[in-house]
Amino acid sequence: MNLETGVKNTWCPRCGHFSILAAAKAVIQELIEKGERPEDFAIASGIGCHAKIVDYINVNSFYSIHGRVPPTISGMKIANPDLTVIGFAGDGDGYGEGVAHIVFAAKRNIDITMIIHNNRIYGLTTGQFSPTTPQGQKTKSTPYGNPEYQLNPIKLMLGSGATFVARTSSFDLNHMKEMIRQGIAHKGFAVIDVVEPCISFFNATDYIRKNAYVMENHDSSDINKAWERAGEWNYTLEGKIPIGIFYKEDKPTFDELLLKGKNLRKS
């Protein structure tokens, strides 16, 4: 089964979105080779350069509206709980425009996977600062430097109740694939923050390449340790970037509880 769509790719050369596409496609392909059918998957994206990803993967997909990936794929999951649903969002899309949606999807622990293309800038609209743009960064909309403090989405997701919280780097394809594999396998709300460059408007290629490292000896079942590790890097342009699973917990999912409730009402 070939997941190519034949649609012309219009991302800038070396954009981080390419490796996210390669990793996501490889993992979906693996699952199909293990017996899943292409129609067992449904994917959706928000609005931004990242969103074009749904045009480039040949499974059922929906190009949604800005920030609304979590409710879109939540609806898919509730309507057909047998589907594996994966959402793709940008940092502007997921942590800015749609921040309430991602917080509430995490709070509900609905069984969906969100992959965040975190280039720390609004790419499609040509370089305005986003929630994860470091303070002081000069962008098109902050020519004297971003006056706002940047958001740490790992802490946001831990605080919202997400039961699988991971970070990876677009420069480590194998690691990215492993995080996506595990995120999809996780029963509950999984979020994978992919740190990547926007070549045209925030090219942090060298910094990310040089500083991302895989966490070792981290106990991902301990929320306090997860919080501590999340504070090691605060989405600046300084210091090492730990990647891996910060936190993982098994607990009943929203879709399970909702459907159980429905069955109970029927009986």
Ligand X SMILES: Cc1ncc(C[n+]2csc(CCOP(=O)(O)OP(=O)(O)O)c2C)c(N)n1
Strand pairing category for 164-169 and 241-248: antiparallel
CB of 193 to ligand X, least distance (A): 12
Q: Work out how close the CB of 203 gets to ligand X at its nearest, in angstroms, rounded to a whole number.
A: 13
Q: Which tokens go with 177?
A: 């694939």
Q: Which does 15 bind (CB under 5 to 8 A by kind): ligand SF4, ligand X, none?
A: ligand SF4
Give the closest residue to 74 by CA, choosing from 63, 66, 86: 86
Least CB distance from residue 223 to ligand SF4, whole Å?
A: 33
CB-wise, 1 or 12, nearer to ligand SF4?
A: 12
d(CA 43, CA 24): 11
Question: Measured between alpha carbons, how far is 85 from 104 in angstroms, rounded to an integer?
Answer: 17
Q: In 57-90, which positions are buried (b, 16+ CB within 10 angstroms) versus exposed (e)?
A: bbbbbbebebbbbbbbbbebbbeeeebbbbbbbb
Q: Which helix (H) or strand (E) holds 114?
A: strand 113-118
Residue with smaller CB distance to ligand X, 202 or 247: 202
Restricting to residues 206-265, which ones interact with ligand X according to CB under 6 A? none
User: Contact letters (x/-) for ligand X, 176-215, by CB under 6 A?
Assistant: ----------------------x-----------------
User: For the chain, how far is it from start to end, CA to CA, in angstroms?
Assistant: 42
Residue with the CB atom nearest ligand SF4 in the bound state: 123
106 binds, among ligand SF4, ligand X, none (CB under 5 to 8 A by kind): none
Does residue 122 interact with ligand X by CB under 6 A? Answer: yes
Footprint of ligand SF4 on this chain (CB under 6 A)? 11-12, 15, 17, 49, 119, 123-124, 198-201
The kind and range of the H/E element at 255 are helix 254-266
Contacts of 206 (CB under 8 A, 6+ apart): none
Stretch that binds ligand X, among 92-100, 144-152, 218-226, 234-242 (CB under 6 A): 92-100
Please enumerate in sequence order all residues whose Cβ is within 8 A of that of 219, keeping only pairs 6 or more positions apart, or say none: 225
Min CB(237)–ligand SF4 separation in Å: 17
What is the nearest approach in angstroms of ligand SF4 to the Cβ of residue 201? 6
Residue closer to ligand SF4, measured from CB, 106 or 208: 208
Alpha carbon distance 78, 185 (integer Å): 18
Tokens of 128: 């305005």
Region of 1-9, 36-44, 117-125, 178-186 interacting with ligand X (CB under 6 A): 117-125
Q: Which of residues 20, 24, 44, 47 is near ligand X by CB under 6 A?
A: 47
Q: Based on CB atoms, which residue is closest to ligand X, 167 or 186?
A: 167
Residue ranges binding ligand X (CB under 6 A) = 47-50, 66, 90-93, 97, 117, 119, 121-125, 130, 198
